[in-house]
Structure 1
């Protein structure tokens, strides 16, 4: 990219920068640049560009950068900054008025028109570092090593990971050569930290399922997947990795599920035809008091009055109060990791407390908070005095 006529800088939020990374890595379709005005207009008329459908315009506008965009000239190269760090450059090849009625990938969750910029720019750009691209290359290497042909995608925040999620994992692995798990940000106000979620998801995969057949693709700091408002975006990133299936739950927000002559339909049906990817809608999983196991509401013969739901909001409430959720909802190991993160250094004189309460076989070792929770739960499960 030529560096002539460089002028001012564009300051990006973390989410905007990560969207740039998604575009450049080809994770949002074959367009790896910011669209120009003609491409945007084609999207408005046909719902896509060059025969490829897409729900959002890949054009950049920003209220906080609007003054700079007003002044920029065609052919100028702008530096891209994120968190005071130079992250890339863009050559402005097109400049045009923003159509605020059109969904823009950088403002897909913006409700107020006042937060949208007046000017859009298009053009080629380069990024000096991209974790998205790194993850993509790691995935492609694993795919090649396994010679995977049947690849299934799961998109979830796992906030937190519960027994219902486990059923989805196992069902998916049974029917695929390789599973890619797109880990997205939490959208609730009391959502768990992304790095914490990444840690316990990886821990579960390492311990309880064939780890060589599951790849976790982190989508940190990206707001466009919040609340699953547009499942088409999830299908698009899955297709970008040549996934053959994408698995969603019937309670997936934005799925728009309905029945036509007793046949379940969703807003993804048309998308599946256009992109050549199979969409699998799984029923809701619950714990049945009669079956004594996690089941789907479709396969269980007992009524809802016997079903205990995996309510993520309630589980997080327990955890934030420092209470270990019953193992019927979540694996103990997951709870221990979360509690140790939420309440660091919770116990004073941990070693003495541990030695006083639990059998140690005379061996004195430094204990972690996770080990303390594990031993404490074992004592709770001793019932001979009841």
Structure 2
């Protein structure tokens, strides 16, 4: 929508726009507006909003428009502007000072108020052309088409997608009518681009999983999930979409797993009981040299010196160095997709290189980088000579 001059305008960032879209669609709890000061204090004191567990208050302090907020009055209509476009509006119902004792949904990992505005705004708001709304509608359509009752959620960056993820997918699909994969942004500068991850994830689902029973919900340009510091927030978005289970790995950064009377406990146990969503904590998956297959550390009788681990950081570092991970770690289609993106037009004489090394038909075919990587990986797997 073009810029309008009839109302005061608040400039927001892309991340803030996406979070507002999640709030409006009720995907961060039952609250679909920006909270007032009283509601914020309720969350700060009880950890709940109207009886529902809420990890962060849904308050907003627009840093880029402090003067406009300060000059605004209750009842004013303020337009949200993102990337020079009007993307929504809010009818100002309350305005109050920020508090250093409260972490809001827009800056959950901020330790100080140095990067926050002076005032929070509260009230009902609208978001125009929300793609989050469209994705949610697509999900509901898929859910209704298969009459899904048991819906399981997985939240991960899949950076990169490796064999242990595959094991988790198949285990989850076996026990659910529908699996929702929340694809989140990668953490840190070394992460892969979102579009690359989305492509190889969708390609993998179409080729190796029942696509009608897996729904990918992309959370692009949203950084509140990418550090995996608050699994309760992941549980909230899964519950808000109607999921009955959430699957997490025991190595989840913010899980806080401990044992009490020899039984595993996590910080999600209370949330699970109160909100009616089952939390399943999967053990770590490894490849055992003795078992000759992917196993869990809980079920394998062999020691750690026989286990090859699926470490995402190490696999990503190999790929960024241009090294193809062995197929025992990752499927060749995923490796080739990532390498082609990281090293575009890497080979100057691709056609000659391919023809000189590999079997070709008599018809001259134009080869791509992906085909070279795939053929190279196939050759690595040949066992003619040891």
* 1:43–1:385 Cα change, 3 Å: closer
Instruction: Please name the residue that 1:170 is paired with.
Output: 170
Mapped partners of 1:226, 1:112: distance in 2: 20
1:185 equivalenced with 2:188 (yes/no) = no
**Aligned partners of 2:79, 2:130: CA distance in 1, in Å?**
16
Q: Structure 1 length normalisation: TM-score?
A: 0.96
8 Å Cα contact 2:153/2:243 also seen in 1: yes
Residues 293-330 of structure 1 deviation map (CA, whole Å, 9 limit, x = unaligned): 11100010101111111111110111011111000111
**d(CA) in 1 for partners of 2:173, 2:313:** 27
Asked whether the 8 Å contact 1:319–1:325 carries over to 2, the reply is yes
Residues 5 and 75, structure 1, Cα contact 8 Å, conserved in 2: no
Q: Tell me the SS of whatever aligns to 1:41.
A: helix
Where 2:300 maps in the other structure, the secondary structure is coil
Secondary structure at the counterpart of residue 183 of structure 2: strand
Match of 1:57 in 2: 57
Gaps of 5+ in 1: none
Distance 1:5 1:43, change over 3 A: farther
Q: Pairwise mapping of residues 353-364 of structure 1 onto structure 2 (< 5 A)?
A: 353-364=353-364
Deviation at 1:78, TM superposition (A): 1.3
Q: What is residue 302 of structure 1 aligned with on the other side?
A: 302
Q: CA deviation at 1:5?
A: 10
- Spell out the pairing of 1:217-296 with structure 2 (5 A cutoff): 217-296=217-296
- TM-score, length-normalised on structure 2? 0.96
For 1:380, the equivalent position in structure 2 comes to 380
1:82 and 2:82 correspond: yes
> Equivalences for 1:114-133 in 2 at 5 Å?
114-133=114-133
Note if 1:368 corresponds to 2:330. no
Q: CA deviation at 1:225?
A: 0.4
Asked if 1 retains the 8 angstrom alpha-carbon contact of 2:10 and 2:64, the reply is no
Correspondence for 2:203:
203
Q: Secondary structure at the match of 2:143?
A: helix
2:38 corresponds to: 38
Cα distance in 1, alignment partners of residues 306 and 174 from structure 2? 28
Following TM superposition, by how much is the alpha carbon of 1:7 offset from its aligned partner in structure 2, in angstroms? 3.8
Q: Quickly say closer, same or farther: Cα 1:355–1:78, change in 2 above 3 A.
A: same
Look up the SS of the partner of 1:207 in the other structure.
helix
Give the alignment of 1:16-165 within 5 angstroms.
16-165=16-165
* 1:36-91 deviations in Å (ceiling 9; x for gaps): 12221222333222222211111111333222211111111111111222211111
Contact 2:12 2:64 in 1 (8 A): no
Cα RMSD for the two superposed structures = 1.5
Residues 186-229 of structure 1 deviation map (CA, whole Å, 9 limit, x = unaligned): 11320111110011111111111111100000001101102211
Structure 2 unaligned residues grouped into runs of 5+: none
1:348-384: CA deviation from partner (whole Å, max 9, x where unpaired): 1322332232222112222221111111223333454
Q: Distance in 2 between matches of 1:146 and 1:217?
A: 17
Deviation digits for residues 224-253 of structure 1 (CA, Å, limit 9, x no counterpart): 102211101100110111111000000001
Distance 2:127 2:40 in 1: 23
Q: Structure 1 residues 23-32 or 348-357, which shifts more?
A: 348-357
Judging changes above 3 Å, is the alpha-carbon distance between structure 1 residues 46 and 381 closer, same or farther for their aligned structure 2 residues?
closer
Q: Distance in 1 between matches of 2:32 and 2:127?
A: 12
C-alpha distance in 2, partners of 1:61/1:251? 34
- Identify the range of structure 1 (362-371 vs 317-326) with the bigger mean alpha-carbon deviation: 362-371
C-alpha distance in structure 1 between counterparts of 2:108 and 2:65, whole Å: 17
Deviates more, 1:210-219 or 1:362-371: 362-371
Give the Cα separation in 1 of the matches to 2:162 and 2:382.
Answer: 24
Query: In 2, are the aligned partners of 1:5 and 1:76 still within 8 Å (CA)?
Result: no
- Provide the aligned length of Structure 1 versus Structure 2: 383
